[in-house]
Amino acid sequence: MEGMTTIDTDTVGGRTVDAIRADFPAFAARSDGAAVPAYLDSAATSQRPRAVLDAERDYLEHHLAAVHRGASSAVGESTTLFEEARETVARFVGAGERELVWAENATDALNIVALGMSDASAGLGGAEASAFSLGAGDEIVVPESEHHANLIPWQRLAARTGARLVAVRVDQHGVWSIDAMAEAITSRTRVVAFAEVSNVTGYLAPVADVVDVAHRHGALVVLDACQSVPHRPVDFAGSGVDFAAFSGHKMLGPNGIGALYGRAELLDALPPARTGGSTITTVTFDEASFLPSPQRFEAGTQPVSQVVALAEAVRYLEALGMDAVARHEESFAARVVDGVSALPGVRVIGPQAGQRRAGLVSVVVDGVHAHDVGQVLDDAGVVVRVGHHCAQPLHRALGATASTRASSYVYTTHEEADRFVEALSGVRRFFGVESSGVESSGVGQEVPA
């Protein structure tokens, strides 16, 4: 479109995006001849390459057995694949093997930390867990832009322990600053939880600065890395964060698998949120002793095929190079922001034109509810996310009921960015609000995302 930023041919890590898309069955030509929709909802869930689908299928067909249970060669082979996958994923995020715990997803991983702290506050876990104990007068700091998965567990922890939840306020664009964060952190702060990349604004948080301030006050840092691990280089150990969580389905991998990173000495002291088989050293009728991390948190039968497939997704991303992935997605965001900024009555949430952001863009269309915006885009063959994106406090702070989000990944083309802007340009005209004087965002009743 006219006025858009000019960007070179689509490539990621030396491969054209067209070649990358050929790896994904979702983008194959339709048998009925219909156009393949522009899939701009990867921040919610990503498509999967054939290599990942094949890796899970191969495990299920040829290597299926109960890991860490029994002494057969089949169990040994399955356990080796399971633990080698852990090594692969741990290396990808800058973690040691004992520092990566499998969870159902990132939400589950964050709850493992919050519930472990709740148990410690109730006196479970002994002396080594006392460092996680919270009580009246303690504070938990969370930006008001957080996904509900990194807000509600801390609400519940505060309610159980008498601690106080402290909000880091956002500006008119939905972005918080390190100054606002530093002002919220005090000597009473015990936990600071925030997203490395906001799932609504695309804001890239100053992780190192937050870690420095939090640790100087003796607080633990919990990082929601759902929108960073799939899209840019991360090094949890190098960053100094204490815990971090991410999900497989957002990084070309399967549903039902996520991971919790924690510094080994912290994981070994944190009471396990779920208990049962495979987590213990000794059990009597009255009490149990637990294994070190990661096994102390991995109760019951594990999602082995999903773990194996996630490791294959990591290898796919490593072959492209995460620096290249980040550059490609940031170019998408810049292109969309430039295009949207030229549209009357459309407001960009988060960093504005010329400011760095991750590869997603959320907008509010004046006079039109996001669900209606999404319907127009869907009719135009553009798949986006609409709603409050599990971030109601953020939308409330912005005076918006909901927003429309376009998000990219390794298979997203510049032409798809243009299709989004082109379809968006006709929304207000379609609903007859271009010249109606209606300029309020958040039209309609608040509804679930």
Q: Return d(Cα 222, Cα 242) in angstroms, integer.
A: 6
Any residues with CB less than 8 A from the CB of 76 and at least 6 apart, and which? none
Write 52-55 long-range contacts (CB < 8 A, 24+). Answer: 52/252, 52/253, 52/254, 52/309, 52/312, 52/313, 52/316, 53/25, 53/309, 54/312, 55/308, 55/309, 55/311, 55/312
- Which DSSP state fits 197? B
The three-state secondary structure class of 131 is helix
Candidates 222, 223, 228; CA nearest to 250 is 228
End-to-end alpha-carbon separation of the chain, Å? 30
Three-state secondary structure string covering 133-189: CCCCCCEEEEECCCCHHHCHHHHHHHHHHCCEEEEECCCCCCCCCHHHHHHHCCCCE
Contact assessment for residue 171 and residue 144, using Cβ atoms and an 8 Å cutoff: no
The three-state secondary structure class of 251 is coil
- Which DSSP state fits 98? G
Q: Return d(Cα 416, Cα 100) in angstroms, integer.
A: 36
Any residues with CB less than 8 A from the CB of 73 and at least 6 apart, and which? none
Structural tokens at position 436: 């109606």
List, in sequence order, every residue forming a beta bridge with 39; answer none if it has no partner: 383
Structural tokens at position 34: 């219909």
Q: Which of 210, 390, 400, 427 is catalytic?
A: 390
Annotation marks residue 226 as catalytic: no
Candidates 330, 261, 334; CA nearest to 100 is 261
Helices (H) and strands (E) in the chain, counts: 15, 17
Catalytic residues: 390
